């Protein structure tokens, strides 16, 4: 059998600093972009209201920070800062092979442009790395998961300014010089294509008070993040050569609504711009021509320097990864709309949805893995996936999340199918393995975890941890997978047959 197909998948779990840590003003941490997002009760537009901050909402958030008032869920997270060792012990008990977490840029560089890092921030992440290592898990680090020091937004205009590239590489160098030998896999940026769906989260760009974003600022910022990614990979290969670098996009899994040529073409074009652009730059090493046409047609001037093109070509990442929650539908006609990760899409009549409207599509994951592998021929990691749901705590404290178990079981089957198709899959990372604040809607009530955190949208609760039914199920799945792998020598067909 082909050696490549024998890779034993890693099964993991993930959190992100801004959604998990809390402790927004502890240990010298600076105020960051996520700390400024207020809780807005969910209505039709709530997600947008709390995702696209304007100068006036930022001013209010800063004023509230001075008096520590208002409801800003990211300032609390899941209080992971206080529960760190307990949480890592739970992940060890869960049997994870790998833990994905992010460092808070503003905890290491409170303003983002200091010459030296904050010693208390270093000390905190020393504890994180030590705990993960002691638990025997591999480390998967995200250098930036949406949050950036607010000062960089105010003083530089966020990622619109090329200076951010140098400041970011300085931050990344500190990380690799200190912990590089403990990092197995890493991503310079979470869901880098989020920059143009959610510019505040993605590239630190406030929305003008009464109007839309200037798209040339959005795409210039994104291009600067691509340059920063390649520069970080270049630096990491000198400082910490053993670490494996990746790129990551939110995978939208587009289907044409009908088989009309127009729907199909729209599907291809949307997919290029929204999903593959970043992958083509970062994993395949070139700035794609379809973006030049898109920018020209939309009047979006962006400077791509010759030296940037050389940098991309010489510093492609080692693996490709994506978040996968749902699939999307594209049409040139009017269609009923539903929500999805970062985007609103046309409803797919063949699929059921979660309470948040995200359509459940395990088969799409097999398709995503095949298409990504075909396009890049680099190992593919499902670095985020999971089911956001409201959980009910029974009187005896148990939580029967059968819906989450069903979602995971169906998606895991499709991953094994994709491996049998020939995809070189590195592993699967369960999103929000411990309940965290939702990045899209700031809710604590939208939960992904196997571990429940007793807290609500207003921050009421003890923040105590408890295991849901999915905890035992995921534990047993991981154990069973590794047993099947060793019994079959990893032969995908034999694995599937058992
Ligand atoms: C991804 C992000 O977009 O989806 C995560 O990388 C986020 O940070 C996840 O939490 C799920 O989205 P949501 O809106 O349900 O939290």
Whether 15 is in a domain gets the answer yes
Cβ neighbours around 14 below 10 Å, total? 29
Q: How many angstroms is it from 19 CA to the middle of ligand 1? A: 9
Whether 495 is in a domain gets the answer no
Query: What is residue 50's predicted lDDT score, i.e. its pLDDT?
Result: 76
Residue nearest to atom 16 of ligand 1 (CA): 438
User: How far apart, in whole angstroms, are the C-alpha atoms of residue 37 and residue 440?
Assistant: 10
Is 1 exposed, middle or buried (CB count within 10 Å of its CB: 0-12, 13-18, 19+)?
exposed
Annotate 318-332 with DSSP letters as a single string: SEEEEE-S--EEE-S
Query: What is residue 497's predicted lDDT score, i.e. its pLDDT?
Result: 86
Residue in 379, 393, 411, 422 with CA at minimum distance from that of residue 477: 411
Q: How many separate domains does the chain show?
A: 1
Whether 345 is in a domain gets the answer yes
The two structure tokens encoding residue 250: 């939110």
Torsion angle (degrees, nearest 10) of CA 205, 208, 211, 214? -40
Q: Determine contact, residues 266/332, Cβ cutoff 8 Å.
A: yes
Residue nearest to atom 3 of ligand 1 (CA): 341
Residue in 90, 140, 117, 494 with CA at minimum distance from that of residue 319: 140
Query: What is residue 45's predicted lDDT score, i.e. its pLDDT?
Result: 45
Residue nearest to atom 2 of ligand 1 (CA): 439
Taking the mean position of all CA atoms in its chain, how far away is CA 195? 12
Whether 475 is in a domain gets the answer no
Terminal C-alpha separation, the chain: 18
Annotate 363-375 with DSSP letters as a single string: HHHHHHHHHHHHH
Query: What is residue 51's predicted lDDT score, i.e. its pLDDT?
Result: 82
Select which of 21, 191, 417, 443 is catalytic.
191
Ligand 1: atom nearest CA of 47 is: 14
DSSP 286: S
Is beta strand 451-453 parallel, antiparallel or unpaired with respect to 465-467? Answer: antiparallel
Mutate to test the pocket of ligand 1, among 78, 431, 444 (most ligand atoms within 8 A of CB): 431
Whether 3 is in a domain gets the answer no
Mutate to test the pocket of ligand 1, among 274, 439, 443, 444 (most ligand atoms within 8 A of CB): 439
Whether 498 is in a domain gets the answer no
Ligand 1 surroundings by CB, under 6 angstroms = 16, 190-191, 250, 323, 341, 384, 388, 431, 438-441, 446
Residue in 252, 153, 166 with CA at minimum distance from that of residue 202: 153
Question: What stretch of H or E contains 143?
Answer: strand 138-144
User: How far apart, in whole angstroms, are the C-alpha atoms of residue 126 and residue 123?
Assistant: 5
For residue 209, the enclosing domain spans: 10-469
DSSP 31: P
Cβ neighbours around 381 below 10 Å, total? 28
Ligand 1: atom nearest CA of 194 is: 3
Q: Determine contact, residues 175/128, Cβ cutoff 8 Å.
A: no
Strand partners, 32: 149
Q: Reply yes or no on whether 336 is catalytic.
A: no
Query: What is residue 1's predicted lDDT score, i.e. its pLDDT?
Result: 46
Query: What is residue 52's predicted lDDT score, i.e. its pLDDT?
Result: 86
Query: What is residue 498's predicted lDDT score, i.e. its pLDDT?
Result: 73
Residue in 225, 226, 138, 128 with CA at minimum distance from that of residue 178: 128
Strand partners, 245: 186
Whether 418 is in a domain gets the answer yes
Q: CATH number of the domain at 352, please.
A: 3.20.20.80
Show pLDDT as tens, one digit a residue, over the chain (498 residues): 445 557 999 999 999 999 999 999 999 999 999 999 999 887 654 467 778 899 999 999 999 999 999 999 999 999 999 999 999 999 999 999 999 999 999 999 999 999 999 999 999 999 999 999 999 999 999 999 999 999 999 999 999 999 999 999 999 999 999 999 999 999 999 999 999 899 999 999 999 999 999 999 999 999 999 999 999 999 999 999 999 999 999 999 999 999 999 999 999 999 999 999 999 999 999 999 999 999 999 999 999 999 999 999 999 999 999 999 999 999 999 888 888 888 888 999 999 999 999 999 999 999 999 999 999 999 999 999 999 999 999 999 999 999 999 999 999 999 999 999 999 999 999 999 999 999 999 999 999 999 999 999 999 999 999 999 999 999 999 999 999 999 999 999 899 887
Question: What stretch of H or E contains 421?
Answer: helix 402-421
Residue nearest to atom 14 of ligand 1 (CA): 440
Q: Reply yes or no on whether 44 is catalytic.
A: no
Whether 488 is in a domain gets the answer no
User: How far apart, in whole angstroms, are the C-alpha atoms of residue 302 and residue 103?
Assistant: 30
User: How far apart, in whole angstroms, are the C-alpha atoms of residue 190 and residue 201?
Assistant: 10
User: How far apart, in whole angstroms, are the C-alpha atoms of residue 71 and residue 60?
Assistant: 12
User: How far apart, in whole angstroms, are the C-alpha atoms of residue 497 and residue 480?
Assistant: 13
Query: What is residue 41's predicted lDDT score, i.e. its pLDDT?
Result: 84
């Amino acid at each position: 059998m082909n050696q490549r197909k024998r890779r034993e998948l890693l099964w993991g779990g993930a959190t992100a600093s801004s959604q998990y840590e809390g402790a927004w003003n502890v240990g010298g941490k600076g105020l960051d972009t996520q700390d400024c997002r207020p809780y807005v009760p969910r209505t039709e537009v709530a997600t947008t209201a709390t995702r696209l901050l304007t100068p006036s909402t930022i001013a209010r958030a800063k004023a509230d920070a001075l008096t520590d008032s208002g409801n800003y869920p990211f300032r609390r997270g899941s209080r992971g800062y206080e529960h760190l060792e307990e949480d890592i012990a739970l992940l060890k008990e869960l049997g994870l092979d790998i833990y994905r977490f992010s460092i808070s840029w503003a905890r290491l560089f409170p303003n983002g442009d200091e010459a030296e890092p904050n010693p208390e921030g270093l000390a905190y992440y020393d504890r994180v790395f030590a705990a993960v290592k002691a638990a025997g898990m591999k480390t998967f680090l995200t250098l930036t998961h949406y949050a950036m020091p607010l000062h960089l937004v105010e003083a530089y205009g966020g990622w619109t300014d090329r200076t951010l590239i140098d400041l970011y590489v300085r931050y990344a160098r500190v990380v690799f010089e200190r912990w590089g030998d403990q990092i197995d896999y890493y991503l310079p940026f979470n869901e880098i294509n989020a920059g143009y769906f959610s510019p505040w989260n993605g590239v630190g760009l406030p929305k003008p008070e009464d109007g839309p974003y200037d798209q040339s600022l959005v795409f210039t910022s994104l291009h600067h993040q691509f340059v920063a990614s390649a520069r970080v990979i270049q630096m990491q290969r000198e400082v910490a050569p053993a670490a494996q670098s990746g790129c990551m996009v939110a995978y939208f899994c587009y289907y044409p609504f009908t088989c009309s040529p127009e729907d199909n073409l729209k599907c291809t074009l949307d997919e290029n711009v929204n999903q593959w652009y970043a992958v083509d730059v970062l994993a395949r090493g070139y700035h794609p021509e379809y973006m030049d046409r898109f920018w020209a047609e939309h009047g979006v001037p962006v400077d791509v320097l010759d030296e940037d093109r050389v940098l991309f070509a010489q510093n492609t990442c080692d693996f490709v990864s994506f978040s996968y929650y749902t699939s999307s539908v594209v049409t040139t006609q009017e269609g009923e709309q539903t929500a999805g990760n970062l985007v609103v899409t046309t409803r797919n009549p063949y699929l059921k949805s979660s309470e948040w409207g995200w359509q459940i599509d395990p088969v799409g994951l097999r398709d995503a893995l095949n298409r990504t592998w075909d396009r890049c021929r680099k190992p593919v990691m499902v670095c985020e996936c999971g089911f956001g749901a409201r959980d009910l705590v029974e009187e005896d404290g148990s939580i029967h999340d059968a819906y989450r178990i069903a979602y995971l079981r169906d998606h895991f089957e499709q991953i094994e199918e994709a491996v049998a198709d020939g995809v070189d899959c590195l592993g699967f990372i369960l999103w929000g393995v411990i309940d965290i604040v939702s990045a899209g809607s700031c809710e604590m009530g939208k939960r992904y975890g196997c571990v429940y955190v007793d807290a609500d949208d207003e921050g009421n609760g003890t923040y105590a941890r408890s295991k849901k039914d999915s905890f035992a199920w995921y534990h047993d799945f991981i154990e069973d997978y590794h047993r099947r792998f060793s019994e079959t020598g990893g032969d995908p067909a034999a694995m599937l047959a058992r």
